[in-house]
Amino acid sequence: MNFSFNFIVSWVHSSLSLSLSLMASPLSLHTHLHFIPSIRPNQRTLPLAPIPPSVLSLKPFKSPNFKTRPIQGTPNWNRLLSLFPRASIEEAETDAGETTEPGGCLVGEDSAAFEIGEQSIKSWVYFGAILGAVLFALDVVWIDPSTGFGTAFVEAVGGFSDSPEVMVLVLILIFATVHSGLASLRASCEKLIGERAYRVLFAGTSLPLAVSTIVYFINHRYDGTQLWQVQSVPGVHQFVWVASFISFFFLYPSTFNLLEVAAVDKPKLHMWETGIMRITRHPQMVGQVIWCVAHTLWIGNSVAVAASIGLIGHHLFGVWNGDRRLSLRYGEAFNVLKSRTSVLPFAAILDGRQKLPKDYFKEFIRLPYLTITFLTLGAYLAHPLMQAASYRLHW
């Protein structure tokens, strides 16, 4: 039981660190990479074309938790969350003095929205039961060497090569194929078996593969050829720590609704537009690049380089695949969102296509972001426990 607990902690941290986000909505992972033309001094940019009437007639795509409301006059029970204010579409338009698009409002959803008053105790009891059942099944069916298939899977993949670099790349390739393949088939699968059944299939298939990849990387991260050694250089540890910490705020913009992740709430393909999405339309890719650069710098060997190549390559494919899927799902509304956002961080803001509200900071001062902060700090402090739990598997 102690081993199971230790490994669960290890899996949670490592899955965050490597951004093999199996329970995350695949949307934030995938976009179409394009480059924003540079603007010469004194060059005037043409105004954006007005939104077509067909788009203006669309109702905003809002999650069940999303409401347009002013900050003043909130019910008494909401004042407990006064430290975590929600920016609304109304505030974004009136406070900034203009809308984010001439003649229109947000067409996407408000990310990280969370209302305590709308939470059901019954739903969270279901969530706890489902999480416990999933972790127990994962331990018995995959992790435990005496009953699971995880050891046999890693040994079978090891038949391709004795090289740890090749092994980590093959494991990432297998995971990426299953993960992105199922994400691409989401619409068809949901029509066939329903949204909740698809979520179970998606997580149940991808999760064991990610666990194997993560544990193998932890156990072999210092194998291979040492290319550089900068761990003793002043400032490097601090840089890696800060960069890794920042990367988590990019990595998980779509997992705030844990009830939806566990299929307690009906899972949806979301199209976010606020918060981190104003900086980059595909924050998970950006966060993965930041994490990989920081950790590759710290480890400094060929295994870390191979893992970073595999992970970044998977996310760059996801950049294209996600935009394709969102375009199919939301049509012209996604084209509007795409026109005022960018893949490259801050590009849409710098060239004037994205107008930040005056109270933009309110889109981050929210309970989910505070939760991510605590979890990230906790995962860092739990590094020794996580590593020890992975070593015991001998994968």
- pLDDT value of position 172: 97
- pLDDT value of position 234: 95
In contact, 252 and 221? CB cutoff 8 Å: no
In contact, 296 and 247? CB cutoff 8 Å: no
The conformational region for residue 194 under phi > 0 = left, psi -120 to 50 = alpha, else beta, is: left
Sequence-separated (6 or more) residues with CB below 8 Å from residue 388: 6
Give CA–CA dist 231/215, Å, rounded.
23
In contact, 322 and 30? CB cutoff 8 Å: yes
In contact, 270 and 109? CB cutoff 8 Å: yes
In contact, 304 and 231? CB cutoff 8 Å: no
For residue 202, CA distances in Å to 25, 180, 199, 277, 280 come to 10, 10, 5, 25, 26
- pLDDT value of position 69: 41
DSSP 141: I
Give CA–CA dist 265/161, Å, rounded.
43
| Token pair for 262 | 């566990």
Amino acid at 286: V
As averages over each run of 10 residues, the pLDDT of the chain (395 residues) reads: 41 41 35 33 40 45 42 38 38 35 65 78 88 91 92 92 94 96 92 90 92 94 95 95 92 69 79 90 94 96 97 95 92 92 94 90 86 87 86 86
- pLDDT value of position 253: 60
Q: Which of 308, 225, 334, 241 is nearest to 18 (CA)?
A: 308
